[in-house]
Structure 1
């Protein structure tokens, strides 16, 4: 029996069990309709459930590559369960309401960030229900780009989903189903024409596509930021027209402060490695903060915390440097798990602070894998008030426009140093790789005239940013 014959048989069966009804109805999206699909009744008809599952497997998903299936709650859950059994693929379940106890998870099941999940849904009108599930799965670091459905009502849902990088494959469109029912004398020609006219006249609300962070200006992204330091940094960049972060890897207090006096008006942030300063003292911190306030730039201590939570807490607040008292933000590794973030978060209730989480590194031969990167991004989602952004090299690392991509390893000309640091040009890191804040060190610090060189870098980086947000990348 061919696909068409099997689909015809299923359409007639759905009509006979009242899963397809004619009359006057209102859909979940608020649209009035002369035809309604109530697929909740199929749970009482095992043979129909089996037909649907087999057809979806044969017709829609046989050639797909995926790790998990997830049914949109609640009608699609029985079908997703059967497909999981038929295909021998793991199933995930999305809760409509996150638990207030236990793990408080919105997605149940075993999965890893970076894995692929296939969405199963019964009917798509506007696509909003599918997108709710897609959003929660993507928050966990899962890749979701395909949904298989029983019926596409042809009212804009397919386009809405495509705008959000989700392609759908359906067993039926409204038109194909109605034509089968008319051909088999289940409905009149008048009813078929009425439904076809209704499809043409009635379209669902167009859902906004996921915002492309690369095309949004900094001031707009400031409104979307949940971390106060990210908000502040976006606004500083927009106001000062600079996305340059200076890395001052110098070993004396005087050399650092003198350099910042010369270049402070041209940078949005300074990156320090406080533990290399040989004559560190409290006065240095006081003067550093005064210069930062005067020139309106932030202080990032590039400490790269990577220990158990308790130790990180002590490293952040105690010892000689007392980083938590003066650094607006710090860097951290995700390697030990989110205990690092819990520890830092515990000290940031009374004062605005932020964390850049390392998702990638610019050094040659580093061991960060794509799976590690995806898991890092998934971990950050749990700390929206804490995470300022990610240290990374790739525009696809994260989507959230309220977070900042901090990219080091930039020089006006591509090169590589003797210790394996790979340098890229401003054009490459901003236009191709998606950097928001660009870290420059030796290109300015080691220049004969840092005050001249900083302006050259600032202008080159800002020009690339304005080109990017204009959308004219050619």
Structure 2
């Protein structure tokens, strides 16, 4: 009850000090509006600052975040007071990097992998919040919540949600004007005008909070929820290779011989175990020993696509017992969520991962944009299980803690007679946003697989370095 009383008290005070104005204004997003919220004046009113801090504290005190960060510059005074009240570390984001010293965008003491809560005064489109989120995430800081004083209800909440940020607000514009009408600060006619404006005028969709492809693998490792993704990011960064080799060979001896030659140059080995003619338990022991010695992970490209119970049996039982040795597997989302539930319950406490097929590289495949979108949404329910997506486009998903695995890579653009389309390392890494590129015949069928693996490794890594440098021209 005290909270509601103080909320009404704040609404009246904001009106009294002209922090809420009615007339004809233009917002930062370029929208004309009959109501304008100018929080900058509150720094001259300690009682208002104190009241806002009290109300925001109710939203923050149960949060597990490590830090608070106010969107510059209007929210900085409020964030500072809230930091003191909540006894939480505060970070400051610069609008422009210093031209000397550390040249950092984020000031304060923090570690990659820690979390931060955003504080903002007003949200229309959410663009200012997303600019702050972008710089924090680039430092490896997790951001999933923003606390706002006023939600103008013009699309900002939806824009933030689309970028993985939940917005909580003290006021919506609707309930603010209802309070002002209740206390005879504005007329019902003015309230109706504002409500009609809100109903008919929406802010443009904001740009993405962060381009995951611009963040280094080291920092993305700290943002990964799935342990296989975290380990894979770390291997990539340590070995300086984002090359995955597809060992589509039918002989265990040939596979082991190939990996002995190229294993030090790859981060991931993709197998198709069901094409191996002499599969045996000794092969499993040897490939696991190689993976440990040469530091790569194993992806069994099983492409599970059955009901959950059947997939669980396929994963754990039968001749191959894939769940015992593969670090991760590929899975179709076509059967629905049950397939992920089954795999999630079949890992027996061992860190395992899933690459969901969101797109394919074969010509004429039947995957649609809606199917891809639904696949990404399904994956969000299983953060501990999902390693990433097999896909062809950087816009398929946004989470920097997940990995884009893109097959169909050769040094020159080409295709084969069975509809496989190949793209160059430059196309796949720079244009399509791949984190790991899959190469098969380009290495396996070469006269010297080791030499060719080095060529691909260097080409792919050079593209990655160019990508994170921002020098894409």
Q: Look up the match of 1:310.
A: 309
Helix, strand or coil: the match of 1:384? Answer: coil
| Pairs within 5 Å for 1:64-463 | 125-127=121-123, 149=152, 210-463=209-462
Q: Does 1:35 align with 2:34?
A: no
Is the CA contact (8 Å cut-off) linking 1:248 and 1:441 kept in structure 2?
A: yes
Q: Look up the match of 2:101.
A: none
Is the CA contact (8 Å cut-off) linking 2:123 and 2:152 kept in structure 1?
A: no
Is the CA contact (8 Å cut-off) linking 1:271 and 1:300 kept in structure 2?
A: yes
Aligned-pair CA distance for 1:127: 2.5
Residues 377-433 of structure 1, C-alpha deviations (whole Å, 9 max, x = no match) = 000000000000000000000000000000000000000100000000000010000
Aligned-pair CA distance for 1:211: 2.7
Is the CA contact (8 Å cut-off) linking 1:431 and 1:473 kept in structure 2?
A: yes
Q: Look up the match of 2:471.
A: 472
Aligned-pair CA distance for 1:350: 1.3
Alpha carbons of structure 1 residues 471 and 375: separation in structure 2 relative to 1, 3 Å = same
Aligned-pair CA distance for 1:126: 3.6
Structure 2 CA distance for aligned equivalents of residues 24 and 423 of structure 1: 60
Across the aligned residues of Structure 1 and Structure 2, the Cα RMSD in angstroms comes to 3.8
Aligned-pair CA distance for 1:125: 3.0
Q: Look up the match of 2:39.
A: none
Alpha carbons of structure 1 residues 21 and 302: separation in structure 2 relative to 1, 3 Å = closer
Structure 2 CA distance for aligned equivalents of residues 37 and 349 of structure 1: 57
Helix, strand or coil: the match of 1:125? Answer: strand
Aligned-pair CA distance for 1:24: 6.0
Q: Look up the match of 2:76.
A: none
Structure 2 CA distance for aligned equivalents of residues 390 and 151 of structure 1: 32
Residues 334-360 of structure 1, C-alpha deviations (whole Å, 9 max, x = no match) = 000011100100012410000000000
Is the CA contact (8 Å cut-off) linking 1:19 and 1:38 kept in structure 2?
A: no
Structure 1 CA distance for aligned equivalents of residues 445 and 439 of structure 2: 11
Is the CA contact (8 Å cut-off) linking 1:20 and 1:35 kept in structure 2?
A: no
TM-score in terms of structure 1 length: 0.61
TM-score in terms of structure 2 length: 0.61
Alpha carbons of structure 1 residues 346 and 164: separation in structure 2 relative to 1, 3 Å = closer
Which runs of 5 or more structure 2 residues have no equivalent in the other structure? 1-7, 23-30, 34-58, 60-119, 134-150, 166-172, 174-184, 187-206
Structure 1 CA distance for aligned equivalents of residues 460 and 373 of structure 2: 27
Is the CA contact (8 Å cut-off) linking 2:387 and 2:403 kept in structure 1?
A: yes
Structure 2 CA distance for aligned equivalents of residues 401 and 165 of structure 1: 11
Aligned-pair CA distance for 1:306: 0.2
Aligned-pair CA distance for 1:150: 6.8
Q: Look up the match of 1:200.
A: none
Structure 2 CA distance for aligned equivalents of residues 36 and 473 of structure 1: 44
Structure 1 CA distance for aligned equivalents of residues 404 and 450 of structure 2: 25
Aligned-pair CA distance for 1:35: 3.3
Structure 2 CA distance for aligned equivalents of residues 129 and 346 of structure 1: 40
Helix, strand or coil: the match of 2:229? Answer: helix
Alpha carbons of structure 1 residues 231 and 19: separation in structure 2 relative to 1, 3 Å = same
Indicate the structure (1 or 2) with the bigger Cα radius of gyration: 1
Is the CA contact (8 Å cut-off) linking 2:271 and 2:299 kept in structure 1?
A: yes
Structure 2 CA distance for aligned equivalents of residues 236 and 342 of structure 1: 28
Structure 2 CA distance for aligned equivalents of residues 224 and 389 of structure 1: 13
